C-alpha cells in the first residue's frame, strides 16, 4: 500500500495561519514543534511534517479501516535526505519527501525498500489528467494547483 500527499505552498499561505496561538499544539508533538522552531524555514518544516502525517495516515486508514485522523498521534521522525518515518499506533510507515519552491510532496509505504520503486506523477493545473482514475493509481492527492499520483512498482509491468 502507498500513501501520498501534496501541499501547494502558495495556497497553504492563504488557507492556514499555522502561527496562530495553539495551532501547533493541536497538530504536532513537542518534538515536532521543536523541529519547526529550530528550522531554517519553519513554513517548509510545517508542511513537510503535515505531508508526512497525511501520506502515512492514508495507508493506515486503508489497512485498519479506522477513519480517525488525529494528527498529534502520528509521530514523525526526519532522517537525512528527506527520508522519514511516521509511527501510528505501533505501526511504522516510511516516507520520502520532495521539497520544491511551489510544493511539498511526500510518499509513504510500509516497506522502506519500496520507496525507491514508486512511480510518481505530479501535474499542475490546468495540465491535470482528465480521467486520472483510469490510470489506476495506488494513491491520489490534490491540493490547490497540484495533483499527485503514485503507482506501485508492480503496476508498472
Range of the domain at 21: 2-110
Residue 42 lies in a domain: yes
Residue 138 lies in a domain: no
Residue 92 lies in a domain: yes
Residue 13 lies in a domain: yes
The enclosing domain of 29 has a CATH number of 3.90.470.20
Least trusted range by pLDDT, from 65-69, 78-82, 108-112, 127-131: 127-131
**Contact at 8 Å (CB) between 146 and 10?**
no
Q: How confident is the model at residue 66 (pLDDT cuts 50, 70, 90)?
A: confident
Residue 149 lies in a domain: no
Residue 137 lies in a domain: no
**Average confidence score pLDDT of the chain:** 91
Residue 132 lies in a domain: no
State the pLDDT at residue 156: 42
pLDDT in tens, 91-120: 999 999 999 999 999 999 999 999 999 999
The residues pairing with 105 across neighbouring beta strands, listed in sequence order, are 6, 98
Least trusted range by pLDDT, from 13-17, 27-31, 138-142: 13-17
Residue 99 lies in a domain: yes
Total number of domains in the chain: 1
Q: Distance between alpha carbon 21 and the CA centroid of its chain, in Å? A: 24
Beta strands in 30-138 (DSSP E): 75-78, 83-88, 91-99, 103-109, 119-124
**Contact at 8 Å (CB) between 145 and 29?**
no
Which among 40, 46, 52, 54 is positioned nearest to 9, based on CA atoms? 46
Least trusted range by pLDDT, from 59-63, 70-74, 96-100, 129-133: 129-133
Amino acid at each position: 500500500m502507498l500513501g501520498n500527499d501534496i501541499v501547494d505552498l502558495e495556497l497553504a499561505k492563504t488557507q492556514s495561519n499555522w502561527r496562530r496561538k495553539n495551532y501547533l499544539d493541536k497538530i504536532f508533538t513537542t518534538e515536532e514543534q521543536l523541529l519547526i522552531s529550530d528550522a531554517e524555514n519553519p513554513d517548509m518544516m510545517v508542511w513537510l511534517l503535515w505531508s508526512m502525517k497525511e501520506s502515512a495516515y492514508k495507508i493506515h486508514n486503508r489497512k485498519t479501516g479506522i477513519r480517525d485522523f488525529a494528527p498529534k498521534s502520528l509521530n514523525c521522525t526526519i532522517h537525512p535526505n528527506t527520508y522519514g518515518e511516521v509511527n501510528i499506533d505501533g505501526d511504522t510507515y516510511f516516507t520520502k519527501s520532495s521539497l520544491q519552491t511551489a510544493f511539498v510532496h511526500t510518499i509513504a509505504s510500509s516497506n522502506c525498500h519500496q520507496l525507491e520503486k514508486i512511480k510518481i506523477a505530479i501535474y499542475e493545473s490546468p495540465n491535470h489528467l482528465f480521467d486520472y482514475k483510469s490510470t489506476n493509481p495506488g494513491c491520489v492527492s490534490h491540493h490547490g494547483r497540484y495533483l499527485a499520483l503514485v503507482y506501485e512498482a508492480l503496476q508498472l509491468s
